[in-house]
């Protein structure tokens, strides 16, 4: 597949890091040569310097025979123009744009996004996706991440195992039986290495595990692993931006939230947030100041959310909150390497901006016939939803006959509203909806099996 990525910033770089895992020919356009140099040193791409909204630059990048274009610059209007040019001048089949402004996303203007007006096939809104993910984590205290699958009837849930977990040293095959849980183990990350456990594996302190859980079993599962925490009723937010504006707007309509305070160092941003949020107390001042932290009453907060554009500031803010006794701390990170470097310092929950953004476009860029796809396990793997159609080569095969790499697995399948946790002898049927864990190192092989 020939793909053009417009924008070599953090989002563009994240998109490219996933695109190169498949069989794709990638060109990246940006007028910032420094960003282009960085991305071309790390990945095998064709760098094109220039404004991606200019037709001659798009033509130079190969737009005439391009299969897909991703407009992921930091300016919504530029992304819209790129998609219009891609449609009107080059007839590019698939056009994806990053749009974060609440104005452009208002349902009132939804009719804009079609071939007769603005020809955008898929809108992605990384800031809103981040806010929604954080709100889900706040809703289920004790989990480190939660992702709806199979039409929201099940969730992929991330848990960080502690020293006091009552299920330590218990084989995974026995956990369901002894605690009356209906869960499926997907993968374990131990010492920053992801692996697929067998049912004789036991959990160890500091393991990060991903589970498949029924929607009505989330709280019971958190409790069974000894991770329950008090409800997140008092919040403190660091940073005033689109993410915090969306969270603040949702919080104002949530009766379970007792109080929310937002700290912003920039006076103009602070004023803007104060004007747009009626029930969130906006505090202008230095985030790390003891006076400001005291004014925000951080010592009595149930949860702290650090949303600034600076990863180090977010991590430091969460660390200070933890030192002040805050039970739940959440940091948004823009650099995936912090997932590994900072993971064991505190119980801080890291929300990876790039992983959430890419999950929205994975099913478009993978060659496999995927219904939905999600980035999981700190970008070490993906979860694919695959519907087996009549013409699928996988129909009537046993899961052990698919030829999947050892780092990949069909960990669940939905058959006529019945969830099955398959073993290698389970025979697949047409109409099955598969949940497949695909390690990031084995994407090309998995694509060939499910193409």
pLDDT value at position 344? 41
- Asked if 98 and 120 count as a contact pair (C-beta separation under 8 A), the reply is no
- 15 domain-assigned: yes
Rounded Cα distance, 172 and 167, in Å: 9
How is residue 397 written in tokens? 């095969």
Q: Whole-angstrom Cα distance, residue 314 to residue 331? A: 5
Per-residue model confidence (pLDDT) at position 267: 96
CA 330 to chain centre: 14
Domain end (from 342, 357, 372): 357
Q: What is the DSSP string of 216-282?
A: GGHHHHHHHTT-------EEEEE--SHHHHHHHHHHTT-TT--EEEEEESSHHHHHHHHHH-SSSEE
**CA atoms of 439 and 195, how far apart (whole Å):** 9
Per the domain annotation, does 136 fall within a domain? Answer: no
Asked if 208 and 262 sit in the same domain, the reply is: no
Specify whether the CB–CB gap between 238 and 257 falls below 8 A.
no
Eight-class DSSP state of 426: P
* CATH number for the domain harbouring residue 249: 3.40.50.720
195: domain CATH number is 3.30.70.1450
Same domain for 273 and 324, yes or no, is yes
**CA atoms lying within 13 Å on the CB side of residue 43:** 25
Count of Cβ atoms closer than 10 Å to residue 269 Cβ: 17
CA–CA distance, 306 with 286 (Å, rounded to integer): 13
pLDDT the model gives residue 338:
57
Q: Based on the domain organization, do 25 and 109 belong to the same domain?
A: yes
Domain contains 253: yes
Residue 137 lies in a domain: no
**Spatial separation of the C-alpha atoms in residues 355 and 342, rounded to whole Å:** 17
Check residue 393 and give its pLDDT.
Answer: 86
Specify the pLDDT at position 406: 93
350-389 tens-digit pLDDT: 888 777 777 878 877 777 788 888 888 787 899 999 999 8
Q: Are residues 347 and 382 in the same domain?
A: no
Q: Does 58 reside within a domain? A: yes
Is 203 domain-assigned? yes
Would you give the end-to-end CA distance of the chain in angstroms? Answer: 13
- One domain for residues 55 and 96: yes
Predicted pLDDT of residue 346: 58
Rounded Cα gap, residues 150 and 177, in angstroms = 24
Q: Give yes or no for a contact between 204 and 189, defined as CB atoms under 8 angstroms apart.
A: no
**Where is 176: in which H helix or E strand?**
helix 172-179
Examine the fold and report which residue of 189, 224, 259 is the final residue of a domain before the chain moves on: 224
The answer to whether residues 316 and 201 belong to one domain is no
Contacts of 373 (CB under 8 A, 6+ apart): 359, 362, 363, 366, 382, 383, 384, 385
How far apart CA 307 and CA 128 sit, in angstroms, is 12
Task: Copy the structure tokens of residue 360.
Answer: 């929205």
Which residues of the chain fall below pLDDT 70?
177-179, 335-346
CA separation for the pair 91, 162 (Å, rounded): 53
Single out the residue of 328, 322, 313 nearest to residue 234, CA to CA. 328
166 lies in some domain: yes
Q: Which of 224, 257, 288 is the last residue of a domain?
A: 224
Are the C-beta atoms of residues 408 and 383 closer than 8 Å to each other? no
Residue 73, SS3 per DSSP: coil
Together in a domain, 113 and 30: yes
Question: Are 196 and 238 in the same domain?
Answer: no
Residue for token pair 């289920």: 140
Q: How far apart are CA 107 and CA 112, in angstroms?
A: 10
Q: Tell me, yes or no, whether 380 and 425 share the same domain.
A: yes
Which residue in the block uniquely carries the two structure tokens 């695959």?
A: 386
Give the dihedral of Cα atoms 434, 437, 441, 447; nearest 10 deg.
10
Domain count of the fold of the chain: 4
What domain range is 335 assigned to? 234-357
Statement to judge: residues 51 and 113 lie in one domain? yes
What pLDDT digit, counting tens, does each position of 250-302 carry? 988 888 899 999 999 999 999 999 998 988 999 999 988 999 999 999 999 99
288 plus 331 within the same structural domain:
yes
Query: Is the domain of 21 the same as that of 40?
Result: yes
Domain for residue 422, yes or no?
yes
The SS3 of residue 162 is coil
């Amino acid at each position: 597949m020939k793909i053009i990525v417009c924008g070599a910033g953090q989002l563009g770089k994240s998109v490219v890091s996933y695109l190169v895992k498949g069989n794709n020919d990638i060109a990246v356009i940006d007028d910032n040569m420094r960003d282009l140099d960085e991305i071309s040193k790390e990945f095998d791409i064709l760098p094109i310097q220039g404004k991606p909204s200019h037709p001659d630059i798009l033509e130079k990048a190969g737009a005439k025979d391009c299969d897909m274009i991703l407009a992921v610059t930091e300016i919504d209007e530029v992304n819209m123009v790129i998609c219009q040019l891609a449609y009107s001048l080059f007839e590019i089949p698939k056009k994806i744009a990053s749009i974060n402004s609440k104005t452009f996303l208002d349902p009132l203007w939804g009719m804009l996004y079609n071939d007769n007006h603005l020809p955008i096939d898929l809108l992605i809104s990384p800031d809103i996706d981040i806010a929604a993910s954080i709100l889900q984590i706040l809703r289920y205290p004790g989990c480190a991440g939660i992702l709806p699958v199979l039409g929201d009837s099940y969730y992929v849930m991330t848990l960080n195992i502690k020293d006091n977990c009552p299920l330590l040293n218990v084989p995974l095959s026995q956990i369901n039986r002894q605690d009356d849980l209906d869960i499926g183990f997907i993968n374990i990350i131990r010492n920053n290495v992801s692996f697929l456990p067998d049912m004789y594996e036991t959990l160890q302190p500091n393991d990060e595990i991903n589970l498949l859980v029924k929607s009505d079993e989330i709280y019971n599962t958190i409790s069974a692993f000894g991770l329950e925490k008090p409800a997140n009723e008092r919040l403190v937010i660091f940073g005033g931006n689109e993410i915090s504006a969306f969270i603040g707007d949702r919080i104002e309509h949530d009766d379970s939230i007792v109080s929310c305070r937002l700290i912003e160092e920039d006076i103009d941003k602070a004023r803007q947030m104060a004007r747009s949020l009626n029930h969130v107390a906006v505090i202008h001042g230095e985030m790390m100041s003891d006076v400001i932290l005291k004014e925000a009453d951080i010592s009595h907060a149930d949860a702290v959310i650090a949303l600034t554009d600076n990863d180090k500031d977010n991590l430091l803010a969460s660390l200070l909150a933890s030192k002040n006794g805050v039970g739940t701390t959440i940091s948004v990170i823009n650099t995936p390497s912090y997932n590994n470097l900072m993971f064991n310092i505190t119980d801080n929950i890291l929300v990876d901006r790039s992983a959430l953004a890419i999950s929205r476009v994975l099913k478009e860029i993978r060659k496999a016939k995927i219904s939905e796809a999600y980035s999981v396990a700190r970008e070490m793997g993906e979860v694919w939803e695959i519907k087996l159609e009549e013409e699928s080569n996988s129909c009537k095969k046993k899961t052990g006959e698919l030829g999947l790499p050892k780092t990949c697995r069909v960990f669940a399948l939905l058959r006529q509203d019945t969830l099955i946790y398959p073993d290698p002898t389970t025979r697949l049927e047409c109409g099955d909806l598969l949940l497949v864990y695909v390690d990031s190192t084995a994407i090309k092989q998995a694509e060939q099996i499910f193409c």
